[in-house]
Amino acid sequence: MKIKTKIIGNKVHDVGYRVFLLRKALELGVERFNAYNTKENGVQVLISFLDGDNDQILTFKDYVGNNKPENAEVSDIIFEDYVGYVIGIVDYMHLIQVEQLSKGIPAILSIP
């Protein structure tokens, strides 16, 4: 079973939301997960995909509906069934690491 989650709000980027969701997916034993930030009509949106069994999906939905990172400002959460490929959670962790390195390296290089 696969779901797509859209988390919409004034502050859902740059608050650690993707890692927040990743951690819960790992705790649930999910093997396939992905998430990315985007904007729709100028509003911040986080989109995630999770492929798991029914219990994992229900627990994830409950968690997302009732929890958020400390500084997040959420106005809506939408869950939809999803049909499509979801990358492996380990591959997603690698993507997150590469993204963080790509942000950090320029900062380190700018230090005199």
pLDDT tens digit sequence for 55-87: 999 999 999 999 999 999 999 999 999 999 999
H or E stretch covering 27: helix 17-27
pTM of the model: 0.89
Q: What is the predicted pLDDT for the residue at 43?
A: 96
What total number of domains does the chain contain? 1
DSSP tag of 73: B
Quick one: pLDDT at residue 107?
A: 80
Do residues 20 and 9 lie in contact, with contact meaning Cβ atoms separated by under 8 Å? Answer: no
Q: How far apart are CA 74 and CA 51, in angstroms?
A: 23
The pLDDT score that the predictor gives to residue 79 is 98
Q: Report pLDDT for 101.
A: 84
Domain coverage including residue 28: 2-109
pLDDT of residue 66: 97
- Tracing tokens 């986080």 back to the chain, one arrives at 46
Average pLDDT per run of 10 along the chain, which is 112 residues long?
A: 97 96 97 97 97 97 97 97 97 91 82 82
Sheet with 43-51, side-by-side order of all strands:
32-40, 43-51, 2-9, 76-81
| Domain CATH code at residue 70 | 3.30.70.100
Angle at 50 (CA atoms; ends 87, 79), nearest 5 degrees? 140
Element (H, E) at 8: strand 2-9
